[in-house]
A and B are shown apart, each in its own frame.
Chain A
Amino acid sequence: MTSKVSKETLFECVNAVIQHSQEKKRKFLETVELQIGLKNYDPQKDKRFSGTVKLKHIPRPKMSVCVLGDQQHCDEAKSNDIPCMDAEALKKLNKQKKLVKKLAKSYDAFLASESLIKQIPRLLGPGLNKAGKFPLLLTHQESMLQKVDEVKATIKFQMKKVLCLCVAVGHVGMSADELAQNVHLAINFLVSLLKKHWQNVRSLHVKSSMGPSQRLY
């Protein structure tokens, strides 16, 4: 898809962001965000603008994923050093709200085997739903490591009532190339969801958590 942002502009922008973060080093790993300003779009009256997109490079490396698996998946998880829980462990929580809430807080995302995912409402109640951390389906046909990486590389975006959308696309530890690729992917995907594509985009900015925003479009 042709992008209205040239490669040079993208690289210049990304490099500027990284440079700024190097100039004043912070004690934490700064996140790099993409900010999109929209126009000709009424958030109250138009169709919603939300969903998920998978980026090429993992934007949040410290994201923790837990596998709620059947026997086969739990064995696979243990051999790959991925935290896991089986049906027995879940039953032990006894549907207690506090324990389920604690579980939800301990991990950023969950994956669950086909057989187990159907039982989650019965085993845990709506606790994971409420926390926004309901597990994703994990089949036996796909590689677990691949799926975990996929989950770590997927970002969620949501349009609220304002005409601006913000998504985390990376961190300052990534190379300019990686950041540029992520930004490019994110922009193309988000624009493709708008009814009028580029006609709905007013501006694009990239910024790190503590740095100034760099205009892209």
Chain B
Amino acid sequence: MEDSDEEQAVSKLTKRATKIQIDDRDVNEWEQVQSAFFEHYNPLTVSRFRKESKSTTSGSGNNPPPPNLFSDTFCDGTTILCGFAGGTCRTLDVNRLSSEEVVLNAQTTWKHSGLTCLRCSRVSPFTFFSSSTDGTIRLWDVREEARKPSQKFALDEASEAANTKDKPKKKPILQFDVSSSDQLLGAGTELVKEDSYLLFWDVRSGKSLGAYWESHSDDVTAVRFHPHQNHCLATGSTDGLLNVFNLLETAEEDALQYSFNTNSSVDSVHWSNSESTTSSIMTCVTHTNEVQVWDALTGDRIAEINRKLLAETMMRSNPDAVYITSCYNLENSAIGLMTCSLSGGNTRLIELDSEMKPKPRGLFMDQTAVIQTAEYLSKAHRWATFDENGIIKLWHLQSPSPSEKKQKRSKNISSEDKRNKRFKPYNRD
């Protein structure tokens, strides 16, 4: 039969196939890239946060993907919380990350199996929250010797049973957020039967405050409270919608303020952290590696940045290799995007200017692996990145050494003149 012949031919080809690389490279000369991306970050410390996996480099390429990572920064700005999807999470003091040290001290880990999201407390540098597929959120205190949760937030069993005809199914939480001043917890769940929920709890009392289930038709993957207004909540889902809620309203249909249709699938949503408490700019990163910026006050779509535009800004050749790690709030209310190339690292920082147009900003030198998650430590102007090879790096803006200072001054002179200058005896280092 023709099917089996074709199948045999195809399988022969696949067996002979060597490791398939993604083709992506710089479009411009390295000097041009360096001058366009004017901030150069270099690693201050490099260490390992995960044991090296027994990966094979055989032609079949059967490497299991690295476990999904979550991170957040404590409000003191020097301790980072990171966790694996497997369930363990630990704290890392950025001032104590020494080179080559395997950061696997069992004493500093907490376990919440089925971990899906981590958030640090907004007021205390010692407590954090974690959510999991078991449908609960737990509050932990790092000073607790026993490594047990201080508080557990779950759905009220009794009211659940009263509301549903059959046995209440557990609702796996995919992402959650804690409001400013630690008042409320809002969590988004997976699609369970036909509903995906937004669950709410009061932190101090631990009481469940109810749920919304009408505004999304698929898994809720992004939940973010406004940085200053704790009644304002943004949620995103794989159904492509970005919803904005005013939690002061009691009924869900009154609380829903806006629904923005990204026409894609939402991976994360971020509020701009401007000085003004009424800032309403929301940046959304989609699973298709594109960015959309919406205004939650006027309801307007301010910007739509596709992979092609990002590749151009990144000065790379292949739009299909663009990977967005996440979106960050930089100084002066600027919005930054950390982008990588799927061909391997080449991590660059893109800034959205006042018109929300992407501009090159920073280079993370010699980064060859895709960054899974990163934290921006604004007080110290440093970045902490966790990449797919299990390495954690702390980056700082390299202060230019004397030789570099000369090169910077001669930026506008042709490369030939630069070469000549270097040979002049009185300019040598």
Contacts and interface: CB of A to CB of B under 8 A. Distances in A.
Interface of A: 1-2, 4, 9, 12-13, 16, 39-42, 44-52, 95, 114, 117-118, 120-121, 125-127, 129-132, 134-137, 154, 158, 188, 191-193, 195-199, 212, 214-217
A159 B241 CA distance: 17
A50 B265 CA distance: 6
Interface stretch (B31-39, B142-150, B211-219, B357-365): B211-219
Contacts of B221: 48
5 contacts: A51-B288, A129-B215, A130-B217, A134-B240, A212-B3
Contacts of A2: 23
B19 A52 contact: no
B256 interface: yes
Contact of B65 (A1, A9, A45, A212): A45
Contacts of A197: 20, 22, 320, 342
A16 B342 CA distance: 35
A40 B239 CA distance: 25
A132 B240 CA distance: 9
Interface of B: 2-3, 6-7, 10, 14, 17, 19-20, 22-23, 61-65, 67-68, 85-86, 214-219, 221, 238-241, 243, 252-253, 256-259, 261, 263-265, 267, 286-289, 299-301, 318, 320, 323, 342, 370
Nearest to A41: B65
Given A120-B259, A158-B238, A199-B19, A126 B3 contact: no
A45 B252 contact: no
Contact of B264 (A52, A117, A131): A52
A158 to B, nearest CB: 6
Contacts of B261: 117, 134-137
A52 B6 contact: no
A49 B68 CA distance: 14
A127 B252 CA distance: 11
Contact of B241 (A129, A188, A196): A129
A195 B323 contact: yes
A215 B65 contact: no
Contact of B259 (A39, A44, A121, A188): A121
Nearest to A216: B10
Contacts of A42: 64-65, 67-68
B20 A199 contact: yes
Given A42-B65, A126-B252, A16 B2 contact: yes
Contacts of B7: 215
